Amino acid sequence: MATPLVVSDVAKSFTMHLRDGIKLPVVAGVSFSIRSGECAVLGGPSGAGKSSILKMLYGNYAVDEGQIIVQHEDGLIDLATASPRTVLAVRRLTIGYVSQFLRTVPRVSALDVVAEPLVERGEDRDVARSKGGALLAQLNLPEKLWALPPATFSGGEQQRVNIARGFITEHPILLLDEPTASLDARNRDVVIALIAAKKAAGVALLGIFHDHDVREAVADRVIDVTAFAAGKIAA
């Protein structure tokens, strides 16, 4: 089976220049790979570096050491050293990401927020909107909210907009950062079904789920992040 994402020996630390340059190690020796059609889950307590790993895989955090090899278009790319322009292309075509919080843009409607990633991939705006509408309906977001900018929505409503935005495209790799954190049971089940559909479509998924039931329902295996604790590796 195809393995579109291979992470090897990745290390990350933060240097806080405003606090006398102290160095906060986050993770080291991170190595794993994700196959198409499986959903792997990053496990470990808060502060273990799960979100940091996800953010490095999306190019949102810089990588100190190691490689993140991604199958992109017809070749392999090392995200750890890729140019900003390459990272943007990878995000547009290869890696999707559902963040924990929606970053809202003033005056853009919920429907357009959802449709945007498809439009960026060259889809017709009306087609993208109708797909977005279908997803929002599936996630039980009342239709009267679709035309409104999500800035004033509740946490759960914003998260559903965010999920729809992340699931609308056919990215072969999808990263999920606690997509169900503020959802009720009914909508959690919708997300579980959406994830199952992605798996069936051959998408490689990597997620963080604090919700035990969701994790049980979607995880094919758990990657224990405490094994990558930066302190464990002798410097």
Partner 1 sequence: MSDEPLLRVSALSKFYGSRIGCESVSFDLWPGEVLAVVGESGSGKTTLLNCLSTRLLPSSGTASYRMRDGQFRELYRMSEAERRFLMRTDWGFVHQNPADGLRMTVSAGANVGERLMAVGDRHYGKIRATAVDWLSRVEIDDDRIDDEPRAFSGGMRQRLQIARNLVTGPRLVFMDEPTGGLDVSVQARLLDLLRGLVTDLGLAAIVVTHDLAVARLLSQRMMVMKDGRVVESGLTDRVLDDPRAPYTQLLVSSILQV
Chain positions contacting partner 1, by CB under 8 A: 14-18, 55, 59-62, 84-89, 105-108
- Pick 100 or 140: Cβ nearer partner 1: 100
Q: Which two tokens stand for residue 44?
A: 């470990």
**What is each CA distance from 126 to 7, 75, 122, 132, 144, in whole angstroms?**
38, 32, 12, 10, 18
Q: Which two tokens stand for residue 193?
A: 């079904």
- Pick 106 or 142: Cβ nearer partner 1: 106
* Chain mean position to CA 79: 15
Q: Which amino acid is at 26?
A: V
> Least Å distance between CB 84 and partner 1?
4
Q: Which two tokens stand for residue 98?
A: 């559902």
> Least Å distance between CB 151 and partner 1?
10
> Least Å distance between CB 62 and partner 1?
5
> Least Å distance between CB 120 and partner 1?
8
- Pick 107 or 186: Cβ nearer partner 1: 107
- Pick 84 or 231: Cβ nearer partner 1: 84
> Nearest 5 degrees, angle CA 162-CA 55-CA 156?
25
> Least Å distance between CB 188 and partner 1?
27
- Tell me if residue 165 falls in helix, strand or coil: helix
What is the rounded distance in angstroms from the CA atom of residue 127 to the CA atom of residue 124?
5
> Least Å distance between CB 192 and partner 1?
29
- Pick 38 or 61: Cβ nearer partner 1: 61
Laid out side by side, the sheet with 39-43 consists of: 95-98, 173-177, 204-208, 39-43, 221-224
- Pick 113 or 192: Cβ nearer partner 1: 113
**What is each CA distance from 102 to 110, 145, 173, 230, in whole angstroms?**
11, 15, 20, 30
